[in-house]
A and B are shown apart, each in its own frame.
Chain A
Amino acid sequence: MIDWLASIGRYVRAGLANLGLQMRTFGAMLIASAGLIRRIRLVTDQVHFIGNYSLVIIAVSGLFVGFVLGLQGHYTLNKYGSEQALGLLVALSLVRELGPVVTALLFAGRAGTSLTAEIGLMKATEQLAAMEMMAVDPLTRVLAPRFWAGVIAMPLLAAVFSAVGVLGGYVVGVVLIGVDEGAFWSQMQGGVELWADIGNGVLKSVVFGVAVTFIALYQGYVADATPEGVARATTRTVVIGSLMVLWLDFLLTALMFS
């Protein structure tokens, strides 16, 4: 009985310590970011690595999600004889939910894993320790630029996803199925609010960018310095990152749109 209680206590204490360590790393990284202002190059390099290389998969996914939304939305709306609302349905689902969430999930898989593996390997080959030996703070030099690049790239990728998705819905709905073009756009413009829908969608994608990028960096930073350790850290990035995105999405949706 006592052992059982002790094991619960240990579990909770370890969880809290882990959370505290994460928050301290996060804070230290934000403070270390101040040194980035003079070395903005480091951030642009990472935006290229994280953003440009993710662009193709994001755009193609957006296009196909838009296609499918067009087909499925038309199937359902047609039953109620209101297929003109297709544009509204496609735009609202993309801008409010699918754009930020699917982009963040893909981002965790595409960019997050490579960040974790890169930093984990740097740690395994003692590059981070070597930097500290040379009085270079790895937080400023390695973590902070990647973090800010992720925070910059994520909303832009989500916006590209939504925009391409709307065009995909247009192609299927108007060009292939033959929904009236004027109704498609005007219903969309009538129903989508600039701040309430688009602004909150962008805000969501910024929050997801912060969460996913930091989880990826932290998992790499605390990975065991072995090949298995790096492999486990990469897996954890995808699992924790995706779950965190879904959980944050529920929380933000409940706060924003209630």
Chain B
Amino acid sequence: MQRKSLDVWVGLFVVLGAAAIMFLALKVGNLSAMSLGPSYTLVARFDNIGGLKPRAPVKSAGVVVGRVESIGFDDRTFQATVTLRMQADVKFPSDSSAKILTSGLLGEQYIGLEPGADDKNFSQGDRIKSTQSAIVLENLISQFLFSKAAEGSKGEEK
């Protein structure tokens, strides 16, 4: 009888430990977020993806509607190929456009989907034609500096 109660306690301990691991995996980790249920993929090409990473959210009107599945490089067009995994119950017109945006000033980058007006919807494997690249801060600064310098040299000519 004493054997049995000891076994019960050991079993309880092991189950508790396993439950803790499950809790970590499901609630703390992103195992549950990984399976979106039924989904379809879209492909988008960007000239520059900035700091976009796999598993970054795809948002439309601020709501997460999918995630970035993988990022590749196409050496014929020299563009980044981004594969998006979209939730199956969310449909978008086939002339929707994708932008790479940043949440907050220094936050993570995500893809913003802007719905178009076409009657046809995207289906599995379609390509998003109109895309807008990430804003690279260095380019922005150098453009600003060049335009300032151009203004300055004009001023000297006068």
Contact = CB atoms under 8 A, between A and B. Distances in A.
A55 B10 contact: no
A197 interface: yes
B28 A48 contact: no
B123 interface: no
B6 interface: yes
Interface string A148-161: 00001101110110
A44 B20 CA distance: 20
A192 B34 CA distance: 12
B28 A192 contact: yes
Interface in A215-239: none
Contact of A160 (B6, B7, B10, B20): B20
A197 B25 CA distance: 10
Interface in A156-199: 156-157, 159-160, 162-164, 166, 185, 188-190, 192-194, 197-198
B24 A162 contact: yes
A47 B14 contact: yes
A156 B16 CA distance: 8
Given A156-B18, A192-B30, A44 B24 contact: no
Contacts of B14: 47, 51, 152, 156
B29 interface: yes
A189 B17 contact: no
Interface in B1-50: 6-7, 9-10, 12-14, 16-21, 23-25, 27-34
Contact of B17 (A157, A166, A194): A157
A197 B10 contact: no
A202 interface: yes
Contacts of A190: 30, 33
B29 A47 contact: no
Contacts of A44: 6-7, 10
Nearest to A185: B27
Contacts of B34: 194
A7 interface: no
A212 interface: no
Contacts of A160: 16-17, 20
Contact of A198 (B6, B18, B19, B24): B24
B33 A189 contact: yes
A198 B31 CA distance: 11
Nearest to A92: B28
Contacts of B29: 189, 192-194, 197-198
A188 B24 CA distance: 11
Contacts of A198: 21, 24-25, 28-29
13 contacts: A52-B10, A160-B16, A162-B20, A162-B28, A163-B19, A166-B24, A189-B33, A190-B30, A194-B30, A194-B31, A194-B34, A198-B24, A198-B28
